[in-house]
Amino acid sequence: MTQGEKILLVDDDTAILSTLTRFLTSQGYAVAAAASGGEALAALQQEDIPLAILDLVLPDASGLDLLAHVRANSPDTEVILFTGLGDLDSALQALRLGAYDYLVKSELRLPELHSVVDRALERRRLALANRQLLEDLQSAQKELANIRARELTQIRRVGETLARPLTIPELAKGLLDLIWESFPLAHLGIKFQGQDQCEDTVVSRHRDGLVVQLNEQFDRWLEKELHRDTQTSTGDAAKDLPRSPPCPVVLQERLSAEDIRGLVAAGRLEPFSPEEAELFRIFALQGEAALKNVLLFEEVKSLAIRDGLTGLYNSRHFREVLAHQVEVSRRYAWPLSLLFLDIDNFKSINDTWGHPDGDLVLKALADFLQSQVRQADVLCRYGGEEFVALLPQTSWNQAHRLAERLREGIAATPIPLGQGEIHITVSIGVSCLTPQLSSEDLLKAADAALYRAKQAGRNLVCGPEGR
């Protein structure tokens, strides 16, 4: 960490502002604290600030407005957003607009903040260092100014194209187009492969007028090349692997991010210059960084909609899905049912076994529920020991049978804990969508049925009154 780097910290909560100022100062940063958007703008106008940490909601401005100002007037300043749980949509929008990251206030841990700050400043240092290096090269090699200008434009385009949130296929297509525009090539291909074989993405381009068989041979070689690392040198599998692409000169770079591997390969008849080889490598490194960003963005989205303990959807996301499923069910006249489930006497489990074992019970129940419902069903930890299951295209009778099967299965399944094992029971309320029910009414009906099951003695399944 470079000592003394300036951080602008903006939050109208004086307690948060004071605490984070002390923490960041103790880590060696110089902190400028601001409690409003006006104070933040004044600080930004006075000096160059490497990093700004902005609250999304301020009394006189929004974090998004400040982000727009920073991007317009201080593009080298990295921005981290603070958000509450209710502002995650705005935070994700901020990522698309160029923010480095966002942190949820209610889940903020100081080591996590320190790590994110370090990464943001490191990215800025690397960007500035790269820019300075490129400027020095341009100055020292004036005779190559036109070539360098085109290369720098392409590198900038890579950053602009790949920095925004993308899917893996979009990343592959964008990188393919950028490399193809930057080099005279006969063949170009990109392959991303997940270990589970479910995330394979292959794209390729070929120069007009080439023999079709050569193009097909290159595509087959690209498809197989990543397998070569894991194949033996003998046997039928190895014999099926083309030993070389259908062109005498090939540049290739391998990419890796978490459990996804990638290959970028370019081929032509003429040798590549050292400058072209280095530029190709830069493209590949940018592609690898973008791949990591894609995976990180997906992880952030998952954290925004998942319960941290059980991995099930959280209640906020569930309500969004519920409203959508009610709309779809009405449009196509499909049945829709909902189960509201609560662990019986869960407080006594925590009191007897302790909260860590209570958490194990919640996770074990979540795992059991996931093993028993369909992939199309939506499971949620609604709060505490309450769980909700939304069952598309499921009638009342089907939902009631499933609820009984779940209740019986849970009661019969022991849960291993540190000092032994425990049996639990659950009460379940069932509701089914009718023309007069809104999405909120459907949820309330299941909750009311759950209450009746509790009142009737627990370890029961109840539906609406009269069923």
The CATH number for 362's domain is 3.30.70.270
- Are 453 and 325 members of one domain? yes
340 in a domain, yes or no?
yes
Given this model, what pLDDT does residue 165 score? 57
437 has a pLDDT exceeding 70: yes
- Are 207 and 344 members of one domain? no
- Are 230 and 294 members of one domain? yes
**Residue 110 is encoded by which pair of tokens?**
């100081």
Mean pLDDT, the chain, as a whole number? 84
- Are 336 and 237 members of one domain? no
Proportion of the chain above pLDDT 70, given as a percent: 85
**How far does the chain reach from its first CA to its final CA, in angstroms?**
65
Chain center to CA of 148: 35
pTM of the model as a whole: 0.45
| Strand stretches in 347-454, DSSP E | 378-383, 386-392, 415-417, 420-422, 426-432
- Are 291 and 332 members of one domain? no
- Are 213 and 288 members of one domain? yes
**Residue 42 is encoded by which pair of tokens?**
């004044």
Residue with the larger pLDDT of the pair 432 and 236 = 432
The CATH number for 22's domain is 3.40.50.2300
225 in a domain, yes or no?
yes
84 in a domain, yes or no?
yes
Most confident of 25-29, 215-219, 365-369: 365-369
274 in a domain, yes or no?
yes
143 in a domain, yes or no?
no
- Are 446 and 325 members of one domain? yes
Amino acid 121 reads L
Average pLDDT rounded to a whole number, residues 372-380: 93
> Of the residues 97, 127, 157, which one is the last residue of a structural domain?
127
Given this model, what pLDDT does residue 197 score? 43
Given this model, what pLDDT does residue 145 score? 56
- Are 297 and 322 members of one domain? no
- Are 201 and 263 members of one domain? yes
- In angstroms, the CA 315 to CA 368 distance is 19
The CATH number for 234's domain is 3.30.450.40
Q: What range does the domain containing 436 cover?
A: 315-462
> Of the residues 303, 336, 367, which one is the last residue of a structural domain?
303
149 in a domain, yes or no?
no
- Are 72 and 193 members of one domain? no
β-bridge mates for residue 379, sequence order: 389
- Are 367 and 448 members of one domain? yes
18 in a domain, yes or no?
yes
- Are 330 and 375 members of one domain? yes
Model confidence at 235, in pLDDT bands (50, 70, 90)?
very low
402 in a domain, yes or no?
yes
Lowest mean pLDDT among 1-10, 91-100, 243-252, 383-392: 243-252
Lowest mean pLDDT among 59-63, 243-247, 276-280: 243-247
Domains in the chain, number: 3
Given this model, what pLDDT does residue 151 score? 61
Work out whether the CA dihedral 21, 24, 30, 31 comes out positive or negative: negative
Given this model, what pLDDT does residue 149 score? 63
> Of the residues 127, 152, 177, which one is the last residue of a structural domain?
127
Residue with the larger pLDDT of the pair 304 and 61 = 61
